[in-house]
Amino acid sequence: MPDKYQNAFEQDSMAQMCTSLDEWLATPLGQHLLARESAYFDSVVANVFGFNAVQIGHPEFDLLRNCRIPQRYRVGYDGTVALRADVELLPFASQSMDLVVIPHTLEFAAHPHQVLREVERILMPEGHLIISGFNPRSLWGASRWLKQREGGFPWCGRFITLPRLKDWLSLLGFETQGGRMCCYTPPFSQTKWLQRFAFMEAAGDRWWAMGGGVYFIEAVKRVQGMRLIMPNWREPAVKSAALTPAARNVVNLNQYRKLKHPNE
């Protein structure tokens, strides 16, 4: 490795360790990630409709700002939130949400399976789920392997591979509908190095589509065998009374006799 790149990695490893993911998102690398994630969420949530939406985790960043759903909530452990709650025990009624957004929550949850089960419970049939996570099969994943002993965010998290996450969603009845990746640049902590490697963002989508440091996945909750029965608003509430065919024939016969024998 050239000396200048080696020095960049050494300076990055000596950077101050952050005590929370929100603190790390304020660093140059965190801002680099947040800009790309915000752009993705803004474009995706605008196409989801319904009545209720919730963002689970990192409420300091409003990822539902471009959503057209009227009732939007942000849930977190602390900070300025609409609802302070445990993400593994969500205080929402079953089948009450049309959209759930989970930004980098599963990697730092003690029981990520339980978080997904709660999400499945509160989502309505055909409800949408959008997840962002760190990809362990990337340069970011390699950096985590080198830095996890030092601690600090986000390298202390348990990165989940995309195939494993899809398996979990499939077992819960979700159908994957789309997604993409971003952050192909090496995870440098300094802005100048991120700018020098910015060309990798466009090249990664084309030549290394599965090597992004962050992945997004969109899924829909499916309920097998469900059929929505709606009232037939066009059918009149009370049908008009009508004579039976036999009665109609009797009436027509009487009219015929009166016409033929008016004096009777």
Distances (CA, A) of 185 to 27, 71, 174, 229: 16, 36, 31, 50
Identity of residue 182: C
Q: Which pLDDT does position 155 carry in this prediction?
A: 87
Sequence spans of domains, the chain: 10-221
* Paired tokens of 234: 């066009």
Asked if residues 191 and 15 have their Cβ atoms less than 8 Å apart, the reply is no
Confidence of residue 127 (pLDDT cuts 50, 70, 90): very high
Q: Does domain 10-221 have CATH number 3.40.50.1820?
A: no
Position 148 scores a pLDDT of 67
Question: Cα–Cα distance between 250 and 246 in angstroms, integer?
Answer: 7
What CA–CA distance (Å, rounded) separates 156 from 77?
18
How many Cβ atoms are within 10 Å of 172's Cβ, its own excluded?
A: 18
Higher pLDDT, 245 or 24: 24
Mean per-residue pLDDT over the chain, rounded: 81
Residue 66: closest CA among 135, 130, 121: 130
In this structure, the number of other CB atoms found within 10 A of the CB of residue 152 comes to 16
Res 8: pLDDT: 44
Distance CA 72, CA 5 (A): 44
Between CA 124 and CA 200 the distance in angstroms is 39
Distance CA 121, CA 128 (A): 12
pLDDT at residue number 6? 44
User: Which span out of 36-40, 207-211, 224-228 was modeled with the highest average pLDDT?
Assistant: 36-40
The secondary element (H helix, E strand) that includes residue 166 is helix 162-171
| Mean of pLDDT values over 238-246 | 52
Q: Which helix (H) or strand (E) holds 183?
A: none
Residue 22 CA, distance from chain mean position: 20
Q: At what angle do helices 162-171 and 112-122 cross, to 10 degrees?
A: 50
pLDDT digits (tens, 9 = 90+) for 36-95: 999 999 999 999 999 999 999 888 889 999 999 999 999 987 666 678 888 899 999 999
